[in-house]
Structure 1
Amino acid sequence: MPTFQILYFASASSYTGKSSEALPAPLPLSRLFPLLEERYPGITEKVLGSCSVSVGLEYVDIPDGPAAGNEVDERVIGEGEEVAIIPPLYDIQSYFQSSGWSFTQK
């Protein structure tokens, strides 16, 4: 079965209990959050609502609302691609601090 790799950082990793996993491809971008919600109930409200998403090295907007999935040119996550769920900077900073890292301002 064709798959793509999804990477979870900070609170996304804590919520899923994973740093990454393979998901079925192809997948329309508008189906990403609903698929994750099916696998991890509550993740949309508690984590995904404040996260950024990248496909490859490009940040993307997740389509939502009544028109989601109806766009003719909707982005589709293809086989072998890499998707990252990236929490806000303050979440990443607290994650690293809890792992023993320290941050200083210049």
Structure 2
Amino acid sequence: MPPKPPAGHFNILYFAAAGSHTGKSVEPLPAPLPLSQLFDELERRYAGIRAAVLDHSLVTVNLTYVDVTDEQAARDVVIHEGDEVAIIPPVSSG
């Protein structure tokens, strides 16, 4: 279980390739943050993550999948203090 984020923050969980790209499994980010700005914020922090990971990943907010490709929906969702966001890249099996 990830640690509770500090006051005024939410936790973002990085799985698989997202964790490899960031070098982290969890990170607190300042809240509130519109979902529509999440990928831009992550790209500022980790250059190249959008093309390498984010454009192919699923995203959850508090264990509910959200459609970051739907611009209107992404503008309507705001990530709040204490929320948990997960970046889930595609998984391949062999």
Please indicate the TM-score interval, normalised by the length of the shorter structure: 0.7 to 0.9
Contact 1:30 1:63 in 2 (8 A): no
Q: Paired residue for 1:53? A: 59
What is the total number of aligned residue pairs between the two structures?
A: 88
Correspondences of 1:16-55 after superposition (within 5 Å): 16-55=22-61
Structure 1: unaligned runs, 5 residues or longer: 95-106
Contact 1:55 1:83 in 2 (8 A): yes
TM-score, normalising length: structure 2: 0.84
Contact 1:27 1:78 in 2 (8 A): yes
Correspondences of 1:1-106 after superposition (within 5 Å): 2-63=8-69, 71=75, 74-90=76-92, 93=93
Divergent runs of 4+, >6 A: none
* Root mean square deviation, CA, Å: 2.1
Structure 2: unaligned runs, 5 residues or longer: 1-6
